[in-house]
Amino acid sequence: MRIESNKPIEHLGAVRVHDVRRLLELDSGTRVQTMTGESIGIQRIDRAAIANVQQRLAIVLPVKDEDLKVFEGVLTGIPNDCLMIVISNSQRGEIDDFRKEQDVLERFCNTTKRSALIIHQKDRYLGEALANCRYTEILDENGLVRSGKSEGMIIGILLALLQGKDYVGFIDTDNYIPGAVWEYAQHYALGFSVADSPYAMVRILWRYNRKLSGEFYFKKWGRVSEITNKYINNFISTKGKFETEIIKTANAGEHAMSLQLATKLTYATGYGVETQELMSIFEQFGGFLPIEDEVVAEKGVDIVQTETINPHMHEERGEDHLIQDMLVPSLSVIYHSPLCQETTKQLITKHLEEMDCIGSGGEVPRLRIIPPPQTADIQKLAGALEEHLSDYYIPKESAMLPRWPITSRKTRQVKKVIFTDLDGTLLHPVSYSYAAALDSLRSLQQAGIPIIFCSAKTMAEQQVYRQELGIQDPFIVENGAAIIVPKDYFRFSFSFSKIVDDDFLIELGIPYQVIMNKLESLHDRCEAKITTFGNLTAEEVAKVTGLNLMMAGLAKQRDYSETVIIEGTKRQIESALSSINEMGLKYTFGGKFYEVYDGGDKGRAVKLLVELFKLSFGDIYTIGLGDSLNDVEMLAAVDLPVLVQTVNNRWNNVKVKNLKRVIGVGPEGWSKAASELLGS
């Protein structure tokens, strides 16, 4: 995507409000940029950067009695990488609209191989769980969550948090244009990738085409948002030295936040919610009052505003709804903010009187304000909801709970987990044999110690070794680009990218084709001879690697990285490597070949898997075994890093804290380390 950059930013205490950036191109392709780079004032955001955010983004879809076809259309617009969380307040009973929504979502997930959460806002267990974790302001007198989109949004925030997501975005389900829905999710991702602070918010300014529909409606809507923007800007202006018009999205229903920010804000009931989010940011971090949270004060808060290309067309609900449900609440939250000065208050009162929203001399109604989600006891909430989780999941068996505490399963004894590289470590650097390690490997298996492969090898290659050795533990492929977890391995649920046969895949890297496309230009850029495995036959790969023909074929089946042979003088090789970096790719050297990739690395993958093991076993002790530089990140991520010897009985020059060097080439060293571990 390409958007405008270099737009003005206004600073208010720790808050940076970015002026609206227009989107210039929906898809900027995969072609690598030339050295001259982008034109001034334009920023290109890579597909991989977007994917990276979207994998951590939950899209909350509030729904109340919407047309099912429209609802289905909205689902088709949500990018596959995002987790969908549907919060419904639709009617139940004899005519059960909620059931129908569940069916539509289930069909959609089955066809598209996705998982999602769907919960009714009035779910009895949800109410009980919230009462249990002392988040009662959101509950009505019957102990159920109150009606309202904003209450639905808060449930969405809490569920996204429990899913281990980093961001949450909201998209209404009465949107007629799936392409617009898709675009909002892109904007959220690009907004977070341009924000500097982890406390960030992205707010969307719609572009709409008046000729398309409802000129009357759009005019009125435009007026409502104009009025709210005017008073919020007026309020900011009274606080500073200059007049400002920086806020152009006070009512932005389509918006997203990092969960770190979302959990700190207060929320107004009803449609004043989006305005209140801004007020809450200004109250806490705008510098008008002392900023209590030192971390946020230091990092700041980014409010990024962007303008979309697709038209926004949604269900029309009439003028009364706009004025009474949206304008009055929006102005009310500005009016009742402790920061609002008398001058702004008077203007608001006058405006509402003139519009006959309040009688002359009448009070501006005050909305209920819901405290920050972080005041809820999240651990308790997780515990209380765990039992009912599968009811909210689609498909049921994918119920996932990465951060939910599984306290009951904690054992006192510390569980050991081994992470091991393959080539040159468990497999001999020349013969690829694991024979020397077999006995100790069997003893580890008998002791119930998981053996996690963590290698540059592909999924297909590693499956061969796992089968031969009878290893059924998760494994990390292509240098950390993906983690593969057998479906029934962990007894709790967690987020994953996709299901392949009987495995959950957690993808961290970017797709193979994107890398290949980038690498194509490498030949022209440098003098070194570049050979990619993708362009070699299995026979040729067998020849250069020493692998047998079958294994060479499997080595070519790459999903997230490419093996590259770079030949030339030292200078030529170095220049080729820096070109690879310039193209936005990373590489590691495995001893013979370079693995080119982007996204995941061995360390990141190990850390993620360690978290899952911790949820399963409580405290764990991790051991990492490697032989070369491309194991550094893995070794740095474990409790006990071990380095085996390479050919000539030497250790590679690997620098990691507390590194233990064992004597023995590849599997011999492996075996020694394993026996020591069993003895300890």
Catalytic residues: 421
Please identify, using beta-carbon distances, which residue of 88 and 263 lies nearer to ligand GDD. Answer: 88
The nearest distance, CB 312 to ligand GDD, in angstroms, is: 8
Beta carbons within 10 angstroms of residue 293's beta carbon: 14
**Pairing outcome for strands 42-44 and 2-4:** antiparallel
Which partner from the list ligand GDD, Mg ion, none does 252 bind, CB cut-off 5 to 8 Å by kind? ligand GDD
Query: Looking at 1, 14, 87, 444, which residue binds ligand GDD (CB under 6 A)?
Result: 87
CA-to-CA distance for 554 and 550, rounded, in angstroms?
6
Beta bridge partners of 483: 476, 506
Amino acid at 126: L
In terms of Cβ atoms closer than 10 Å to its own Cβ (0-12, 13-18, 19+), residue 620 is middle
Which partner from the list Mg ion, ligand GDD, none does 646 bind, CB cut-off 5 to 8 Å by kind? none
**Pairing outcome for strands 15-18 and 301-311:** parallel
Residue 278 binds ligand GDD (CB under 6 A): no
Q: Which parts of 387-511 fold into alpha helices (H)?
A: 389-392, 438-446, 459-469
Measured at the CA of 125, the angle between CA 78 and CA 401, to 5 degrees, comes to: 50
Query: Looking at 253, 286, 373, 590, which residue binds ligand GDD (CB under 6 A)?
Result: 253
> Between residue 94 and residue 153, which ones bind ligand GDD under the rule CB under 6 A?
121, 147-149, 152
Q: Which residue is nearest to ligand GDD (CB)?
A: 253
Cβ atoms of 169 and 57 closer than 8 Å:
yes
In the numeric block, which tokens belong to residue 361? 């001399």
Amino acid at 217: Y
Strands (E), 545-639: 562-567, 586-589, 594-597, 620-626
Please identify, using beta-carbon distances, which residue of 149 and 165 lies nearer to ligand GDD. Answer: 149
Query: Looking at 46, 123, 137, 274, which residue binds ligand GDD (CB under 6 A)?
Result: 274
Please identify, using beta-carbon distances, which residue of 63 and 399 lies nearer to ligand GDD. Answer: 63
CA-to-CA distance for 587 and 569, rounded, in angstroms?
18
Task: Give the distance, in angstroms, between the CA of residue 176 and the centroid of all CA atoms in the same chain.
Answer: 26
Enclosing H/E stretch for 42: strand 42-44
The nearest distance, CB 396 to ligand GDD, in angstroms, is: 22
Residue 314 binds ligand GDD (CB under 6 A): yes
Residue 84 binds ligand GDD (CB under 6 A): no
Query: Looking at 22, 64, 207, 592, which residue binds ligand GDD (CB under 6 A)?
Result: 64
Per-residue contact track with ligand GDD, 154 to 193, x per CB under 6 A? ------------------xxx-------------------
Please identify, using beta-carbon distances, which residue of 217 and 617 lies nearer to ligand GDD. Answer: 217
Q: How many angstroms separate the first and last alpha carbons of the chain?
A: 54
CA-to-CA distance for 103 and 114, rounded, in angstroms?
14
> Between residue 565 and residue 624, which ones bind ligand GDD under the rule CB under 6 A?
none
Give the interface size with ligand GDD as a residue count (CB under 6 A). 26
Beta carbons within 10 angstroms of residue 281's beta carbon: 25
Which partner from the list Mg ion, ligand GDD, none does 311 bind, CB cut-off 5 to 8 Å by kind? none
Give the residues lining the site for Mg ion (CB under 5 A). 172, 174, 314
Query: Looking at 233, 251, 269, 455, which residue binds ligand GDD (CB under 6 A)?
Result: 251
Q: Which residue is nearest to Mg ion (CB)?
A: 314
The nearest distance, CB 181 to Mg ion, in angstroms, is: 12
The nearest distance, CB 316 to ligand GDD, in angstroms, is: 8
Reduced DSSP (H G I as helix, E B as strand, rest coil) percent helix, strand, coil of the chain, to 5: 40, 20, 35
The nearest distance, CB 307 to ligand GDD, in angstroms, is: 13
The nearest distance, CB 192 to Mg ion, in angstroms, is: 24
The nearest distance, CB 675 to ligand GDD, in angstroms, is: 58
- Exposure class string for 366-399: b at 16+ Cβ within 10 A, else e: ebebbebbbebebebbbbbbbebbeebbbeeebb
Beta bridge partners of 200: 302
Q: What is the binding site for ligand GDD (CB under 6 A)?
A: 62-64, 66, 87-89, 121, 147-149, 152, 172-174, 251-253, 271, 273-274, 314-315, 317, 321, 326
